[in-house]
Amino acid sequence: MTKMSRPLVLQAVPALIALFIGTAVYLLDRQPETVYFMADWMGGGKRASPFFGTLGGYLPAFIHVYAFILLTVLVAAPSRAHALAICLFWLVLDSAFELAQVGVIARVIADHVPGWFAGIPFLDNTSHYFLAGTFDVLDLYAIAAGSFAAYLTIVISNRGNHEND
């Protein structure tokens, strides 16, 4: 394997596996009416206990930041210092979205969502995302862990590849 392909494989494969697991969490553990992009027929149905157990509640927060950091680094091909900046950017962004689900903050955001969002896919769900979302401090820990894991993945995958340092 060449030096150029090693980081690509060691970053792309974990990112794609993480996204696959994240998709499985939504399909197997979440009710379709609670997931914006999931049709009713896609849901796993009512279960006595979730397939992923308690971990399924926090896994998406970890996976989102982990996979998006790795994918951003793959596209940007930054130096190690810039990779750290990308990790910090996603850490702050995901944490901000989690904190924005706190009741008072969520209501303020929902009240200020422009009316024209209603006709645009994904943006039309903005108010609902914040109002129906649930803030959980453990999600913040999962986001931090995902950011750290992504940085470790980047460092390990770039070992011996000094072009990006």
According to the 3-state scheme, what is the secondary structure of 28-62?
Answer: HHCCHHHCCCCCHHHCCCCCCCCCCCCHHHHHHHH
Could you list the residue range(s) of the whole structural domain that residue 117 is in?
5-164
* pLDDT score for 1: 44
Maximum separation of any 2 CA atoms in the chain, in Å = 53
* pLDDT score for 24: 86
Quote the pTM value. Answer: 0.80
Tell me how far CA of residue 129 lies from CA of 54, 63, 117, in angstroms. Answer: 21, 18, 13
How many domains are contained in the chain? 1
Three-state DSSP state, 150: helix
**Residue ranges in the chain modelled with pLDDT below 70:** 1-5, 7, 31-48, 160-165
* pLDDT score for 46: 58
* pLDDT score for 2: 45
> Phi and psi (nearest 5°) for 77?
45, 55
Whether 164 contacts 77, CB under 8 Å: yes
* pLDDT score for 33: 59
